[in-house]
Chains A and B, each alone.
Chain A
Amino acid sequence: MSRSGVPDARPRLVVIGNGMAGARAVEEIIARGGTEQFRITMFGDEPYGNYNRIMLSHVLAGDEDDGAIFLNPLSWYRDNGITLHAGVRAERIDRFTKHVFSSDGRVTPYDTLIIATGSRSHMPPMEGLYTPGGSVKHGIFGFRTIDDTRKMVAYAQHEHHRHAVVIGGGLLGLEAASGLRRHGLEVDVVHSGGHLMSAQMGPEGGAVLRRSVQGLGIGVHTGSRTTAVLGTDKVAGVRLRDRPDIECDMVVMAAGIRPNVDLAVLSGLPVERAIVVDDSLRVQDEDDVYAVGECVQHRGQVYGLVAPLWEQAAVLANHVTGADTGAAYLGSRTATKLKVAGVEVASMGLQGPELETDEHIVFSEPSRGVFKSIVVRDNKMVGATLLGDSRKVAFLTQAFDRGLPLPEERLGLMFDLGTPGQEVGVAELDDDAQVCNCNGVSKRALADAVKGGCTTVAGAMDATRAGKGCGSCKLLVGQVVEWAAGGAVEDDPAASYYVPGIPLDKQALMAEIRKRGLRSVSAVFQALAPGGREDAKSKMGLASLLKMMLADQYIDERDARFINDRVHANVQRDGTFSVVPQMKGGVTSVQQLRRIADVAEKHKVPLIKLTGGQRIDLLGIRKEDLPQVWADLDMPSGYAYGKSFRTVKTCVGQDFCRYGTGDSTRLGVELESRFQGLESPAKLKLAVSGCPRNCAESLVKDVGVVAVEGGRWEIYVGGAAGAHIRKGDLLATVDDPEDVKVLAGRFIQYYREQANWLERTYAFVPRVGIDHLRAVIVDDAEGIAGRLDEAMQASVDSYVDPWRERDDPQTPGQFRTSLPLTVLPQVPVR
């Protein structure tokens, strides 16, 4: 019954499977007036709305939040009047009475049925996959769903889990491997084929890819098969055919996928490798049952990528709604363009020559990770593989799809040599040509977005979702936007600049500053900003950079600082400030505590609070009272306000704790004394723990130190547990606490010089790679260790406690109130 009480006469459309194909098919149906035409019900095994499965690689790598990948949130279903049974499994179909039976005991009638059950991870047969109880052994993962991904992330972040083996060296396996690598695990890939991604490319391409993958610190074992997973109750390793065992804590199965066809088989539908459909996506010999996506077999083909299923969904919708009953799906040409483990991969047609008369043009530059191979037959392109450089992809895809005649000079197929260039390629591209395969965005959709006013590449990407999948099409998206805007495209200037107001990246900016001998922020604007224009958003970053580069040679213009750095305290929501005195390593004394208590009493401090950084915060201090509060405290600043070195958390360590193996408290205090107040691109928070129980949480600090048995110290870098969570990477293990200070200092200096403004170490370390950092900082591979140490020493020597300014204000009215008429405090007083 509908709400009005009149029986709802619309036929019932039921969809089984709420993944990328199922939801897309429904979107296409709705676009053809399906909401008026049908009462729509969807069953989804996963307890969520529809999300972008492709993005799971990004979620695993920690680049994307799992909440950000939803394509159709639950409200979409509501808004379109769709009944969604999320977390409910369809178990059987009665084709004769036209009912679906589901796991919640429900029996749902249908007039038209769509099956879109997708695939699942394949578990290749081997010993040791299951516990005696029959469940999958603890530590073995598939890589298919959001839940799989969440579990993997949680497992990978466990401190005892340090080594993963990925079974399968195809697209999925390499994505899993690079994602886990980003969590700091050692990763090995075992692949039964002779080379990586053997479904997409030939052996030479595979060899180049192997180099790039190994460059990420991932071990590659090709031509080998895993015969067993070792370990009794949880994973302890894998056994390989003809090779030594690999010890590991987790195993990821990425050895292919299998279509989910149990439901179809059980219900008597025709299934070979997958559910057999005709050119209208109707299940063979059925009138009212359709199927779409990875669970279908069409003309003998089963697809495992999204581009074909976008085409299928459109044809299906034409038939189901009757919008175009002549529409036919004739199969998809498998031209794939992907970004796998950060490497661009494009492949189409043949991997190599097959006939004696085939021409084969190959270019290989393994050191840059670039490989290109093109197969030509009768002056038509019949196959191409591009690795590491897909600039010619637009042109090649067209040549492949349409059989265009080729330039006589074949090299022009690979490089721009006066042959149809990229722009020509973009202009010639069909309006319907799909630019973003992941999200199914056509050239027309992008052009429409530009016409609608999105004249930046980023804006058009936001509006259409183009480029937001694997990211491999971003270059092409940029070209299409440029073409559509007729060259009037506004680019996003901030992308590579250190600060938005000066068109230089950090290294170029530093070089110019040095060359021209610039010493103040205003001088930098005058010399390097377009039109000499200052830019408020750039000031703080420049001030930090100049101070880092010049130490006491820096001309400090106070207006370049953020308010916190002008008054050395953190501005609060009501314009008052918080005061956090230094308490090195979290160690305090009777005198300090008494003084803090006296100050709090005297100044009627609204809130006294222990911070997460092991010190005491006095909150709600008026700006004009700051100098007096500091004078009464007579303690140095704890820098709880700046983009600078903050604190070193410590545990009690050896002197008191029964497990302590190192004097963590002392080392922490020494580290804090050494690095106090250093400016850096973003906050630096350190910790030292006395044993691997890690009470000071060293593994999630910018620099974390852990004492281990035998008087040794492990140094971790790039950890985080704030807005992002990341386990630090082990930089080095040293014998002497003095070496900890040297290496930590060298790392910090390198970070100060190389990191982008506001780039925390949790982003910086994975960006440059721990292997590179180890080479530069521990092994001195670039011969700069001495210089880094000197620069750090100069910064350490130029430290002055900023709270001394209480006796000597730097500017008129430095501590004058900015809200003269407001009654303070507005924060609650406890």
Chain B
Amino acid sequence: MSSTETGTGTKIHVLGPLEQIPVGEGRAFAVDGKQVAVFRLREGSLRAVSAVCPHRGGPLADGTIDGQVVICPLHQHAFDLATGCSTTGANALQTYRVRLDREQNLVLETAPV
């Protein structure tokens, strides 16, 4: 993984090839001392949210997803993948921008603090 900082303070992290994530699943990455879960939706797009469930620390990258939400495997709280908001009343997740570069590598952006 490599990280670069843009002029605006946003950091760009290249997380490696897309193939690390099977279709419809998520994988966790350590980014800048934080844990980020990146999901590959079945329709092809990517989503990234904080990897630790705000409820009781469940591993969200092990969750089940659809086009909208990820469901935590421990107590089934659900979170909107685009906004991070919980649809079941838990605290919200941090969301991140994530995309592919030309070499089909995952690219994650972390905002300036």
Contacts and interface: CB of A to CB of B under 8 A. Distances in A.
A559 B67 contact: no
Contacts of B21: 812-813
A571 interface: yes
B48 to A, nearest CB: 14
Contacts of A564: 73
Interface string B18-36: 0111111111111001010
A562 B73 contact: yes
B42 A534 contact: yes
B27 A816 contact: yes
Interface in B12-60: 19-30, 33, 35, 37, 42, 51-52, 56-60
Interface in A515-537: 522, 533-537
Nearest to B52: A819
Contact of A819 (B26, B35, B56, B65): B35
Contact of B22 (A533, A562, A812, A818): A812
Given A534-B66, A539-B66, A559 B24 contact: yes
B28 A536 contact: no
A539 B73 CA distance: 13
Contacts of B51: 818-820
B85 to A, nearest CB: 16
Interface string A800-830: 0000000000011100111111100000000
A822 B70 CA distance: 21
A628 to B, nearest CB: 19
B22 A536 contact: no
A240 interface: no
A808 to B, nearest CB: 15
A536 B64 contact: yes
Interface string A553-594: 000011110111010000101110000000000000000000
Nearest to B33: A821
Interface string A199-210: 000000000000
A812 B19 contact: yes
A452 to B, nearest CB: 20
Given A536-B71, A537-B71, A818-B37, A563 B24 contact: no
B63 interface: yes
A563 B27 CA distance: 12
B29 A571 contact: no
SS class, residues of chain B in contact with chain A:
mixed
Contact of A813 (B27, B35, B74): B27
Given A536-B66, A539-B66, A558 B25 contact: yes
A812 B61 CA distance: 14
Contacts of A560: 24
Contacts of B19: 812
Contacts of B78: 536
A574 B58 CA distance: 7
Contacts of B24: 522, 557-560
Interface in A574-622: 574-575
Given A563-B73, A573-B56, A821-B30, A812 B20 contact: yes
A114 to B, nearest CB: 43
A819 B28 contact: yes
Given A559-B42, A818-B37, A820-B29, A571 B62 contact: yes
B107 interface: no
Interface string B77-104: 0100000000000000000000000000
Given A536-B69, A536-B71, A811-B25, A563 B63 contact: yes
A540 interface: yes
B66 A818 contact: no
A536 B35 contact: no
B19 to A, nearest CB: 6
